[in-house]
Chains A and B, each alone.
Chain A
Amino acid sequence: MSGAAVNAPEAQNIFLSNFERLAERRSGKDPSWLRAIRQSAIERFAQLGFPHARMEEWRFTSVAPITKIPFQLAEREDQTVTIDQIRPLMFGEPEGQRLVFVNGHFCPEFSQLSSIPQGMIVTGLEQALERYPDRLESHLARYADIEQQAFAALNTAFIADGAFVYIPPGVVVEAPLHLLFLSTAPGPPLVSHPRNVIIVEPNSRVSIVEDYASVNESPCFTNPVTEVVVKENASIDHYRLVRESLQAFHIATQHTHQGRDARYLSYSLALGGALVRNDIRVVLDGEGSECILNGFYLVKDRQHVDHHTRIDHVTPHSNSREFYKGILDERGRGVFNGRIVVHPGAQKISAHQENKNLLLSKQALVNTNPQLEIHADDVKCSHGATIGQLDADALFYLRTRGIDLEAARQILIYAFARDLISRIEIAPVRTEVERALGAKLPDAPAAESAPIN
């Protein structure tokens, strides 16, 4: 790893000096409202500093590895990626609808949008700030919590580029949109702060795959913030895939705001990265709104993957379902913290949460922690968490039928995950997860012959 080790205050100073450079460069371009947001965010970050283990929300996840590396802000000029490096990450669908970003910078030359409905906007945030500043002003940085979350504040200070997706009212977007974020640092370690804004206007529908991948094994820190607004009766399927290298750090903040009868499906699929933290917050702010948060984490080697989710039931008659599963092998470590807050007056809501973990080695570890905060009295809430190992009886049973130990293990591992994986509606994403699972199942393809329902 290049660059001498630093301590946390030094690392913080490096971010602050990076900020000076960025602010100077953006000074002529930013609208005044953004300048103000940027300034208050960096000040807040300077006050907060990096989170530490004495903070409740960071009890099980240390960001010390990130603060020891002098990350430099990734510039557009650092971009050295070629189309040949990107092609294997296209899910085998080179003709698909895709925006490509390298270290957070939008790359139109690698992107492709064949036909998008009238009125729909899909572009880089930097361009969008120039062309649609008014549309962005009411949404950009209005949701993510920079007061409490240091990394969200850091990202907000560095807002420069990312994805901007706008779906006008009454439009159903058929093809899934692939937002591919590539990290690479062939030279010194680099940090990027992608900022994404997704707005789905009333009665519209879209599927988005937000995908983080590495083009090589290099120390990168990706610190994205994604804000999603789902308006009345609109619907979005939002897949979030982290498949970066084992040299990559990934701290993501996601905030979704839902209006009346809005539907939000989130799939967090954490397959790669050395240290991954996903803060996912959903605010159900409209009667009849519904969210489904699904997650799957596959943790091995010395990976550390942390999901902190929070669902706020603000209005009555809102529903949430949360279903996370994790498979942890070798020295992998997982954290699941699922918080559900039912606000005063939010009657007749239902909230169900489940987290199941499968440990495949003695060194693997998971901390799971459901948190219900209920300030209403006519609600249906439930939660459950399990941690288990492969069933020895089932392993033996399979082996007595001629199936060898390794295949029997694979079958049971796949069986553990399959209900979650089978519900992934975008086939190439499902395939990618199966591939990561190493589901080299003996015999016929699993999809054909392993129905469960």
Chain B
Amino acid sequence: MLEINNLHVKVEDKEILKGVSLKINAGEVHGIMGPNGSGKSTLAQVLAGRETYEVISGEVLYRGKNLLAMTPEERAREGIFLAFQYPVEIPGVSNLYFLKTALNAIRRHRGLPELDAMDFLAWVREKMKLVQMDESLLHRPVNDGFSGGEKKRNEILQMAVLEPTLAILDETDSGLDIDALKIVARGVNSLRSDERAILLITHYQRLLDYVVPDRVHVLYDGRIVKSGGRELALELEKRGYGWLEEETNVGVVR
């Protein structure tokens, strides 16, 4: 599904990703963990197509296609979804209009008929149950005045509505209490299928208690320094990141 080969990325002359390689197959859930500043969010934003990051070298193949050549909207239409670490507030645009416009843009691309207002409402109501969101949030401007938890749930709602093939969640668990975390996890688990892949970027392993990953990778100073099974997450929780330095001979800058 996704193949990242030796990806180098810089932002404002500072190299953030220093040769990331990663392969995710359909049906798999991968977790990426790492300390602050290791490049986790950069990886997520680059995969979604953020233009402020400059790819120096390397390639990203998504279902065999050159992902880096696609615009952000093309990636979304091809099935990539990024749940933002910091969802953007858009005053003046209702959540309902936003979701419907996005879904219909993607449906058009897939050759499906667009949903009218009635059908869409039925569709989105179903998905809202999953994330236990109050319907009033549909009629509010996108993320505007939402609490932190509401914003995160709104990301999961968008994911549920758009039904992506590859979902990337950038620290969606950060700042959530345990109940909200369970709701997010349920949203993610409901998306799990043999045709889809999920990349969970997280700072803490607790999300991985609820969404059990097939593989866990440690991103450290712009490189993936260790990969393993679920037990790697537990080990990181116990031991922190310091021990990786000796084991992997990665010079730690900070």
Which residues of A does B touch, CB under 8 Å? 391, 393-394, 396-405, 407-408, 411-412, 414-416, 418-419, 441-444, 446, 448-452
Taking the closest CB of chain A, its distance from the CB of B201, in whole angstroms, is 15
Docked-complex contact B82 and A400, CB < 8 angstroms: yes
Q: Is B71 engaged at the interface, CB distance under 8 Å to the other chain?
A: yes
Binds A, one of B100-108, B208-216, B220-228, B244-252: B100-108
Given A402-B73, A403-B73, A404-B73, do A397 and B101 touch, yes or no (CB 8 Å)?
no
Given A402-B162, A404-B105, A405-B73, do A397 and B88 touch, yes or no (CB 8 Å)?
yes
3 interchain residue pairs of minimum CB distance: A415-B92, A401-B102, A402-B76
Q: Which of B72, B90, B97, B101 sits near A400, CB closer than 8 Å?
A: B72
24 contacts between A and B (CB under 8 A): A391-B88, A396-B49, A396-B51, A396-B72, A397-B84, A397-B87, A397-B90, A398-B102, A399-B49, A400-B49, A400-B75, A401-B102, A402-B105, A402-B106, A402-B162, A403-B105, A407-B101, A407-B105, A411-B98, A415-B90, A441-B101, A444-B100, A449-B100, A452-B91
Docked-complex contact A393 and B100, CB < 8 angstroms: no
Docked-complex contact B139 and A451, CB < 8 angstroms: yes
Residues of B within 8 A of A452 (CB): 91-94, 141
Docked-complex contact A400 and B76, CB < 8 angstroms: yes
Q: Which of A398, A403, A450 sits near B94, CB closer than 8 Å?
A: A450
Taking the closest CB of chain A, its distance from the CB of B128, in whole angstroms, is 16
Residues of A within 8 A of B172 (CB): none
Given A405-B71, A442-B101, A443-B100, do A399 and B93 touch, yes or no (CB 8 Å)?
no
C-alpha gap A76/B21 in the complex (Å)? 79
Question: Interface code B53-97, partner A: CB below 8 Å = 1, 0 otherwise?
Answer: 000000000000000000111011100011010011111111011
Taking the closest CB of chain B, its distance from the CB of A402, in whole angstroms, is 4
Q: Which of A393, A418, A443 sits near B101, CB closer than 8 Å?
A: A443
Question: Interface code B158-202, partner A: CB below 8 Å = 1, 0 otherwise?
Answer: 100010000000000000000000000000000000000000000
Docked-complex contact A394 and B76, CB < 8 angstroms: no
Of the four ranges (under 10, 10 to 19, 20 to 34, 35 or more), the interface on chain B belongs to: 35 or more
Which residues of B does A touch, CB under 8 Å? 48-51, 71-73, 75-77, 81-82, 84, 87-94, 96-98, 100-106, 109, 114, 116-117, 139, 141, 158, 162
C-alpha gap A408/B82 in the complex (Å)? 17
Residues of A within 8 A of B49 (CB): 396, 399-400
Given A442-B101, A451-B139, do A401 and B158 touch, yes or no (CB 8 Å)?
yes
C-alpha gap A396/B101 in the complex (Å)? 15
Taking the closest CB of chain A, its distance from the CB of B154, in whole angstroms, is 11
Docked-complex contact B90 and A398, CB < 8 angstroms: yes
Residues of A within 8 A of B72 (CB): 396, 399-400
Residues of B within 8 A of A403 (CB): 73, 101-102, 105
Docked-complex contact B100 and A401, CB < 8 angstroms: no
Residues of A within 8 A of B89 (CB): 394
Taking the closest CB of chain A, its distance from the CB of B53, in whole angstroms, is 11
Residues of A within 8 A of B139 (CB): 451
C-alpha gap A302/B93 in the complex (Å)? 30
Docked-complex contact A393 and B94, CB < 8 angstroms: no
